A and B are shown apart, each in its own frame.
Chain A
Amino acid sequence: MTDKEARFSQIVNQYSEQLYWKARQIVVRHEDADDVVQNAFLKAWARFDDFRGDANIYTWIYRITVNEAIDFLRKKHEQVSPDGEMRIADNQFADDYFDGNETQKMLYEAMETLPEAQRATFSLRYFDDMPYSEISKILGTTEGGLKANYHLAVKKIKDFFQRKN
């Protein structure tokens, strides 16, 4: 193992579990989160020489992971609905690795109906209480756009709950 690989291995050991859970929260299914976290680390490896250490390495790989989750969902949606049809909840809870209660199940079903970037914005803001300024750096969008996106996501989720009840 080279020095570079040894350094990278330490980073993988330190952060892979946290990043897996972040990916899981966005993509929901275990197999999908597994793909996302592996792809994210491969991308981080490809760019490792460019990382100058001026940012925290965890923040750097976290950003890669969230964007990889969004890209993953986009590609998956394109495969399922190539003509851009509306997203519907596709009962991802046939997944054996979900043990949530009814409220959690409905919340994640509602999130499935959101566009990918909006879903990520909602996840970072609602579950992690992340400031819009931080989300803006991760997703590369304006804070104003993010606020509008988040409030739209909240409204859609509330409408989903009302329809189900």
Chain B
Amino acid sequence: MNNDFNDIFDKKQLEQNPFRVPEGYFDSLNKRIMDNVAKQASAEKSEKPAKAKNVHMHILRWAAACACVLIVGASAVIFTFKDTDTPDVAATAQQNTMTASDDAFNQAADYTMLDNHDMYQMLAEE
């Protein structure tokens, strides 16, 4: 204890320990501490297998998710390239579309028994 408060009080007044404890306190303190430690140790032991199981499940779920993505991706690639033997897929697709439109027009013209001249005139008036 230093002399910082010599101008306020005599430090001899602080020499006696002002605190006391209940009867037998220190006899039971160590036992209570070790009882808590034992509970903690037991909780740690039962946590370890549960933690390992959780990690295992986490890995399984992640693996399953990756597998799904791979399957979907592979399916998309297979579906996209299913009927294409030539590399010029876009040109072939466009030609197919145009052919389909001409066929539909011809079928419509047949159905209405309009000749081409009448059809074009109708379309021009719209």
What residues make up the interface of A, taking CB atoms closer than 8 Å to B?
A: 1-2, 4-5, 8-9, 12-13, 16-17, 20-21, 24-25, 28, 30, 34, 37-38, 41-42, 45-46, 97-101, 103-105, 107-108, 125-127, 129, 154, 157-158, 161
Q: Contact at A16–B13, with CB atoms within 8 Å?
A: no
Residues from chain A with Cβ under 8 Å of B7 in the complex: 158
Given A97-B21, A103-B9, CB of A126 within 8 Å of CB of B4: yes
Given A38-B32, A46-B40, A99-B20, CB of A16 within 8 Å of CB of B5: no
Choice from B4, B22, B33 contacting A12 with Cβ under 8 Å:
B33
Sample of 12 more A-B contacts, CB < 8 Å, known A24-B19, A30-B22, A107-B14 = A9-B37, A28-B19, A41-B37, A42-B40, A98-B18, A98-B20, A99-B19, A103-B13, A104-B16, A127-B1, A158-B5, A161-B9
Given A5-B38, A103-B14, A129-B2, CB of A41 within 8 Å of CB of B33: yes
Q: Contact at A97–B22, with CB atoms within 8 Å?
A: yes
Number of A-B contacts (CB under 8 A): 95
Q: Contact at B8–A158, with CB atoms within 8 Å?
A: yes
Q: Contact at B29–A37, with CB atoms within 8 Å?
A: yes
Q: Contact at B18–A5, with CB atoms within 8 Å?
A: no
A-B contact pairs, 28 of them (CB 8 A): A5-B37, A8-B37, A9-B34, A12-B34, A12-B37, A16-B26, A20-B26, A20-B29, A24-B19, A25-B19, A34-B29, A38-B36, A41-B37, A45-B40, A97-B20, A99-B18, A99-B20, A100-B16, A101-B13, A103-B9, A103-B13, A103-B14, A104-B16, A127-B1, A129-B1, A157-B5, A158-B7, A158-B8
Q: Which of B16, B21, B25 has the most CB of A within 10 A?
A: B21
Q: How far is the CA of A126 from the CA of B9 in the complex (A)?
A: 14
Q: Mark B22-44, 1 if CB is under 8 A from A, else 0.
A: 10011001101110111011000
Residues from chain B with Cβ under 8 Å of A16 in the complex: 26, 29-30, 33
